């Protein structure tokens, strides 16, 4: 090469580099093109210099916002780099990062993530952890996770990158400033405004000092700091900074750049918050047009512009225009949700969905407040609810159906590995420290958790059904309405935060108002006529539900409702106020203390207590009836077959128990069953062609089972959770449990129940030492699964916001050896805080050695998600509070209730409070008689059994349930129980011992209600 040509190449490169560093991209473009062409002509397409020029040109187009030109260039340079330089070359890593950064900017996170991860691995391997390029890769990956809402993963990556930049490049380097800026953005997204501001200021100062006031990166710092000031209400300073940023962007990047659109959009938001809609609107419109032209109609930034302009239209009374734009925005969001679900882990899916909770609330607020009489708007709102509600569960169900259903046999081993890994994490979390030290324990759990998330992501990429946008697009009102039975009505409840479009934050007015409940009513007789009813503020309704449940289940609480709250409908709801007064968590029976004295927290949940007075709990019940049901009755007309899809704390309420103004309860007038979401109807009736296994009945496990007789638990040392919890003021919180105090008492009624149900099903029950956890985990789709044992549900406790919620072992085990197994932060996972007790659990709890097949004796909801119940028609959880769990608005109840459905069960019968032992055994026998002999639909079989139990007399059960042999089985040597049972047997024949809803009202039926086919 002659000197003149070399000088031309050097000059082109140096000029490009200088202009690029100054952010003068338009001016840099011809020099980048010249450098590339000279290198290509001089050295050929595969020379490193040519690759550099090729890469620079693609990156330049990306920075200019010209993604259409950037993509083929960056794809080509990556292909050549891999072929010429090899997979492990730093320049290949750079090419990977550049292409991934383009996809990230385009909102195509699915394609960006593996490229970022690959680049980071190369940099760490080839360049080392302390190289600036490695820091750049960390920074890129963190940006992706932040965009996905996965802040937990993003933060440590940002922090690592910043530390490397500061160490290697110094505090005053532009890359250090970029890293500070990114970390500040993350803190702002997380609501940590006081941590974000100094980082923003520091980044801005570095950029002003080092790269100058007119650089696009300086404009970015000005823009971001202004966004923070706007968020915290410092509008004057925000406006000044935003105008400066916009001027720089327009001057350097041009009017059509995405960054320019971002500043226009943010200025629009600022003026809208100040109530200056006339100034805000043109900024919104300009930003929207640029984003549509440059980024396209499917980009997340376009969604933001559509939503912002829609809120302005509502504020200025242009409701129809607003509805059109916000509908467009939500359609794009559904597409984005589908994309994320097609590659993300379960944690990431959940985090990403939180980003869109606001849009659903805004949509519902628009329709509820301003368009309630617009039939099309109401239908659109319901469509969105049907598409968004319980969508996380939909994704998991799609994955399960695809793999276990045989569509992807090559993925069976990975799916099995994932299930085992989840169970392994659950067991280790519950077991706490073994022989390893605390640090090893934490690292092991972190490693397993990382492996789990990687497997979840890999499976999602390989299963097209995980991309839900197409499926959800066909799961709206029209599809669902065709599946409602001829005489039925679907009632879809939704809890949402109310957005006040006309509030002006600059005047101190809050845009967010208290949450409310809506009910959408879809009658099968007229599916085109959807009715939407506003049921009122959620807090007082939630309060009433807690009070109603308390008054039904807590006979020691003899206060009238008015004594509890002089104005219940204006009260602010807090945690359920009765946790410390209720009977023990695991009680279908009563507990005993260590001195072997019978003790009861307020009343046995055995069979023989006197019915409670209805007067007290009826007051709360009537108020709930007036608030929740009377508004619906006006629309229901003659329809008495109701399919209820509750949300929020409505999931804790068995509607059947509510008293009515016509006398009796709703169960006397309506046939009620439950759904997680109306969309579930689309799954019912599907036939797989596979044969389920025989029914399985598990009852009365030997909780004291031990591999060594010397280690067996003393039956007389029954600490009893009834006693434990009634004596604690702290209530049912997972971190409050002392492992040494926990003990599961025998449930004699479950043995009798299990034997009778098994006899009806013509199978041998799993009882005593055969009720083993490992065997239950290995079952394959029994047609009916009946579980009669202790159930448990542990309430959540607030996490320390400074702790990593994914660090499952971050408890100081050395502080109290007795707090090891049920006191870890891992238990704040709601699927580890509910479950069923099986054989050997007491032995495990007291540091004994249960048989290997018994494992820890705790079948958690996390374990249940790994069961294969794909062809199981019915699961009956004859245990305490199996329908409870952590309520997540829009996602239902995270606990056994959700897990059994995710495992594949078509129908689930479960309880919403602690259930009396004998009464439940009678109800369950009647249920199966209705199912197997009368062939009633599943919900009607339960309902008839409940009515029967509420009306049955002592005379009717004396021969079958109160004879000497049965009384002996039920008391199981407990003198107090035997005494009370004998007292019941002495009651007159016409005495009705189970009238009160405490006995029969806890159970509900969720899922498919069709009659069972013949059970062989």
Q: What is the DSSP string of 814-854?
A: GG-GGGSSS-SGGGGSGGGSEEEE-TTHHHHHTT----GGG
Question: What does the pLDDT average to over 290-314?
Answer: 94
Residues 770 and 850 in one domain: yes
| More confidently predicted of 969 and 718 | 969
Distance CA(494)–CA(517), nearest Å, equals: 6
* pLDDT exceeds cutoff 80 at 89: yes
Q: What is residue 1's predicted lDDT score, i.e. its pLDDT?
A: 61
Instruction: Give per-residue pLDDT as tens, 576-605.
Output: 323 333 332 223 432 223 333 322 222 233
Distance CA(688)–CA(871), nearest Å, equals: 8
Residues 663 and 737 in one domain: no
Q: What is residue 537's predicted lDDT score, i.e. its pLDDT?
A: 97
Distance CA(992)–CA(614), nearest Å, equals: 14
Q: What is residue 223's predicted lDDT score, i.e. its pLDDT?
A: 97
Residues 656 and 765 in one domain: no
Name the domain boundary from 126, 146, 163. 126
User: Which pairing describes strands 1003-1007 and 907-911: parallel, antiparallel, or unpaired?
Assistant: antiparallel
pTM score above 0.75: yes
Residues 722 and 643 in one domain: no
Listed ranges 404-413, 701-710, 977-986; the one with the highest mean pLDDT: 977-986
Q: What CATH number is attached to the domain comprising 11?
A: 1.25.40.10
* pLDDT exceeds cutoff 60 at 611: no
* pLDDT exceeds cutoff 90 at 318: yes
Residues 484 and 560 in one domain: yes
Instruction: Give per-residue pLDDT as tens, 791-803.
Output: 887 765 444 433 4
| More confidently predicted of 1016 and 392 | 392
Domain membership of residue 821 (yes or no) is: no
Distance CA(965)–CA(973), nearest Å, equals: 12
Domain range for 639 is 477-578+610-674
Average pLDDT, the chain: 83
**CB 787, CB 1010: distance < 8 Å:** no
Eight-state DSSP code of residue 654: -
Residues 775 and 706 in one domain: yes
Residues 657 and 743 in one domain: no
User: Which pairing describes strands 512-523 and 531-537: parallel, antiparallel, or unpaired?
Assistant: antiparallel
Domain membership of residue 463 (yes or no) is: no
Distance CA(510)–CA(523), nearest Å, equals: 37
| Percentage of the residues of the chain whose pLDDT score is greater than 90 | 54
Name the domain boundary from 674, 706, 723. 674
Residues 929 and 987 in one domain: yes
Domain membership of residue 629 (yes or no) is: yes
Domain membership of residue 363 (yes or no) is: no
Residue 892: closest CA among 673, 651, 656: 651
* Band (399; pLDDT cuts 50, 70, 90): confident
Burial grade of 664 (CB within 10 A; 0-12, 13-18, 19 or more)? exposed
Locate 291 and state its tokens. 């984003």
Residues 653 and 708 in one domain: no
Starting at the edge strand found earlier in the chain, the sheet holding 858-860 runs: 791-793, 834-837, 858-860
Domain membership of residue 51 (yes or no) is: yes
Q: What is residue 1016's predicted lDDT score, i.e. its pLDDT?
A: 53
* Band (884; pLDDT cuts 50, 70, 90): confident
| Ranges 288-292, 537-541, 965-969: which has the least confidence | 965-969
Please state, as a whole number, how many other Cβ atoms lie within 10 Å of the Cβ of residue 737. Answer: 24
Cα-to-chain-centroid distance, residue 429: 20
Name the domain boundary from 674, 707, 726. 674
Contacts by residues 374-383 (CB-CB < 8 Å, ≥ 24 positions apart): 374/319, 374/323, 375/529, 375/530, 377/323, 378/520, 378/530, 378/531, 378/532, 379/477, 379/530, 380/323, 380/327, 381/520, 381/532, 382/476, 382/477, 382/492, 382/520, 382/522, 382/530, 382/532, 383/476, 383/477
Eight-state DSSP code of residue 620: H
Instruction: Give per-residue pLDDT as tens, 916-974.
Output: 888 999 999 999 999 999 999 999 999 999 999 999 999 999 999 998 888 888 888 78
* pLDDT exceeds cutoff 50 at 393: yes
Eight-state DSSP code of residue 411: G
Which helix (H) or strand (E) segment holds residue 539: the answer is: helix 538-553
Instruction: Give per-residue pLDDT as tens, 96-114.
Output: 999 999 999 888 999 999 9
Question: What does the pLDDT average to over 210-229?
Answer: 95
**CA dihedral for 569, 575, 576, 582, sign (positive or negative):** negative
Domain membership of residue 412 (yes or no) is: no
What total of structural domains would you count in the chain? 3
**CA dihedral for 962, 963, 968, 974, sign (positive or negative):** positive
Residues 645 and 764 in one domain: no
Residues 638 and 560 in one domain: yes
* Band (813; pLDDT cuts 50, 70, 90): very low
Place of tokens 């050896």: 817
* Phi and psi angles of residue 802, each rounded to the nearest 5 degrees, phi first: -90, -5
* pLDDT exceeds cutoff 50 at 730: no
Give the angle 335-339-343 at the CA atoms, nearest 5°.
165
Q: At what angle do helices 216-232 and 174-189 cross, to 10 degrees?
A: 20
Q: At what angle do helices 258-273 and 216-232 cross, to 10 degrees?
A: 20
Domain membership of residue 114 (yes or no) is: yes
Distance CA(638)–CA(268), nearest Å, equals: 51
Q: At what angle do helices 938-951 and 917-932 cross, to 10 degrees?
A: 140
Instruction: Give per-residue pLDDT as tens, 425-434.
Output: 877 777 776 7
**CB 905, CB 816: distance < 8 Å:** no
Q: What b/e sequence results for 388-402 when a residue is b if at least 16 CB atoms lie within 10 Å of its CB, and e otherwise?
A: bbbbbbbbbbbbbbb
* Phi and psi angles of residue 32, each rounded to the nearest 5 degrees, phi first: -65, -45
* pLDDT exceeds cutoff 90 at 829: no
In sequence order, what are the residues at sequence separation of 6 or more whose Cβ sits closer than 8 angstroms to the Cβ of residue 892?
Answer: 390, 393, 647, 651, 676, 677, 898
| Percentage of the residues of the chain whose pLDDT score is greater than 70 | 85
* Band (270; pLDDT cuts 50, 70, 90): very high
Q: What is residue 608's predicted lDDT score, i.e. its pLDDT?
A: 43
Listed ranges 364-373, 382-391, 458-467, 732-741; the one with the highest mean pLDDT: 364-373
Place of tokens 């990975």: 414
Domain membership of residue 210 (yes or no) is: no
Residues 772 and 650 in one domain: no
Question: What does the pLDDT average to over 184-189?
Answer: 96
* Three-class secondary structure assignment of 18-75: HHHHCCCHHHHHHHHHHHHHHHHHHHCCCCHHHHHHHHHHHHHHHHCCCHHHHHHHHH
Q: What is residue 615's predicted lDDT score, i.e. its pLDDT?
A: 58
Q: What CATH number is attached to the domain comprising 773?
A: 3.40.50
Q: What is residue 828's predicted lDDT score, i.e. its pLDDT?
A: 58
């Amino acid at each position: 090469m002659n000197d003149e040509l070399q000088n031309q190449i050097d000059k082109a490169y140096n000029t490009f580099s200088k202009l690029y560093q100054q952010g003068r991209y338009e001016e840099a473009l011809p020099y980048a093109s010249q450098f590339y062409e000279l290198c290509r002509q001089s050295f050929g397409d595969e020379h490193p210099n040519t690759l550099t020029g090729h890469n620079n040109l693609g990156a330049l187009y990306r920075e200019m916002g010209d993604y259409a030109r950037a993509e083929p260039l960056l794809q080509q340079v990556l292909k050549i780099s891999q072929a010429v330089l090899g997979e492990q070359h730093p320049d290949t890593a750079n090419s990977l990062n550049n292409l991934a950064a383009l996809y990230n900017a385009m909102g195509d996170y699915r394609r960006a993530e593996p490229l970022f991860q690959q680049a980071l691995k190369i940099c760490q391997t080839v360049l080392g952890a302390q190289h600036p390029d490695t820091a750049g890769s960390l920074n890129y990956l963190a940006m992706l996770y932040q965009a996905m809402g996965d802040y937990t993963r993003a933060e440590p990556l940002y922090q690592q990158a910043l530390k490397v930049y500061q160490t290697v490049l110094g505090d005053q380097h532009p890359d250090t400033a970029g890293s500070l800026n990114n970390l500040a953005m993350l803190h702002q997204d997380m609501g940590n405004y006081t941590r974000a501001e100094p980082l923003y200021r520091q980044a801005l100062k570095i950029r002003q000092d080092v790269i100058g006031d007119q650089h696009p990166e300086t404009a970015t710092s000005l823009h971001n700091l202004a966004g923070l000031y706007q968020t915290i209400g410092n509008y004057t300073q925000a406006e000044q900074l935003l105008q400066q940023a916009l001027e720089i962007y327009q001057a350097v990047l041009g009017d059509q750049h995405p960054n320019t659109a971002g500043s226009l959009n943010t200025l629009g938001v600022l003026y809208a918050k100040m109530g200056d809609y006339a100034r805000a609107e043109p900024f919104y419109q300009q930003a929207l047009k640029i984003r549509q032209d440059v980024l396209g109609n499917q980009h997340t930034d376009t969604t933001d512009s559509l939503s912002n302009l829609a809120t302005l239209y509502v504020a200025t009374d242009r409701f129809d225009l607003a509805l059109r734009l916000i509908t467009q925005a939500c359609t794009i969001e559904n597409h984005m949700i589908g994309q994320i679900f097609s590659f993300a882990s379960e944690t990431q899916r959940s985090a990403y969905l939180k980003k869109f909770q606001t849009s659903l609330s805004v949509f519902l607020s628009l329709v509820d407040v301003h368009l309630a009489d617009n039939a099309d708007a109401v239908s659109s709102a319901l469509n969105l609810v049907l598409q968004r509600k319980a969508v996380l569960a939909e994704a998991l169900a799609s994955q399960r159906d695809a793999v276990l259903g045989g569509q992807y046999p090559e993925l069976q081993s990975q799916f099995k590995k994932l299930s085992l890994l989840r169970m392994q994490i659950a067991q280790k979390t519950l077991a706490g420290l073994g022989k390893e030290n605390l640090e090893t324990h934490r690292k092991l759990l972190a490693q397993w958790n990382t492996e789990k998330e990687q497997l979840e992501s890999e499976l999602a990429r390989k299963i097209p059904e995980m991309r839900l946008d197409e499926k959800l697009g066909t799961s709206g009102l029209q599809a669902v309405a065709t599946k409602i039975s001829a005489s039925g009505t679907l009632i879809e409840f939704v809890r949402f935060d109310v957005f006040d479009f006309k509030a002006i934050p600059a005047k101190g007015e809050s845009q967010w108002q208290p949450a409310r409940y809506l009910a959408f009513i879809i009658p099968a007789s007229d599916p085109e006529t959807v009715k939407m009813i506003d049921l009122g503020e959620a807090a007082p309704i939630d309060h009433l539900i807690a009070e109603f449940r308390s008054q039904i289940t807590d006979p020691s609480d003899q206060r009238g409702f008015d004594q509890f709250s002089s104005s219940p409908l204006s009260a602010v709801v807090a945690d359920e106020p009765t946790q410390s007064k209720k009977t023990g968590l695991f009680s279908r029976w009563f507990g005993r203390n260590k001195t072997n004295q019978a003790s009861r927290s307020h009343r046995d949940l055995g069979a023989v207590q006197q019915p409670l007075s209805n007067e007290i709990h009826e007051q709360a019940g009537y108020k709930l009836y007036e608030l929740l049901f009377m508004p619906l009755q006006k629309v229901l007309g003659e329809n008495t077959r109701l399919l209820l899809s509750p949300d929020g704390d409505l999931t804790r309420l068995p509607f059947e128990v509510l008293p009515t103004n016509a006398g009796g309860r709703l169960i006397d007038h309506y046939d009620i069953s439950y759904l997680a979401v109306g969309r579930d109807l689309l799954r019912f009736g599907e036939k797989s062609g596979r044969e389920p296994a025989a029914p399985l009945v598990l009852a009365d496990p030997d909780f004291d089972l031990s591999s060594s007789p010397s280690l067996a638990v003393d039956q007389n040392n029954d600490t009893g959770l009834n006693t434990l919890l009634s004596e604690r003021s702290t209530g049912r919180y997972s971190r409050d449990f002392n492992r040494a105090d926990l003990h599961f008492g025998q449930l004699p009624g479950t043995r009798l129940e299990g034997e009778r149900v098994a006899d009806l099903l013509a199978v041998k029950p799993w009882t005593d030492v055969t009720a083993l956890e490992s065997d239950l985990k290995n079952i394959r789709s029994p047609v009916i699964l009946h579980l009669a044992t202790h159930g448990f549900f542990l309430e959540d406790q607030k996490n320390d916001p400074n702790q990593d919620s994914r660090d499952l072992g971050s408890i100081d085990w050395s502080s109290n050896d007795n707090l090891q197994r049920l006191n870890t932060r891992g238990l704040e996972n709601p699927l580890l805080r509910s479950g069923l007790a099986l054989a050997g659990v007491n032995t495990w709890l007291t540091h004994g050695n249960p048989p290997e097949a018994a494992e820890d004796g705790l079948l958690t909801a996390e374990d249940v998600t790994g069961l294969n119940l794909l062809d199981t028609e019915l699961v009956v959880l004859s245990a305490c509070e199996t329908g409870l769990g952590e309520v997540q608005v829009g996602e239902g109840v995270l606990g056994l209730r959700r897990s059994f459905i995710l495992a594949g069960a078509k129908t689930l019968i479960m309880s919403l409070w602690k259930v009396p032992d004998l009464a439940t055994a009678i109800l369950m026998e009647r249920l199966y008689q209705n199912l197997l002999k009368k062939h009633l639909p599943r919900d009607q079989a339960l309902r008839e059994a409940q009515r029967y139990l509420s009306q049955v007399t002592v005379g009717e059960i004396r021969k079958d349930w109160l004879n000497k042999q049965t009384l002996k089985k039920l008391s199981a040597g407990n003198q107090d129980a035997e005494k009370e049972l004998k007292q019941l047997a002495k009651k007159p024949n016409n005495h009705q011992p189970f009238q009160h809803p405490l006995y029969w009202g806890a159970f509900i039926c969720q899922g498919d209600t069709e009659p069972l086919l013949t059970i062989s």
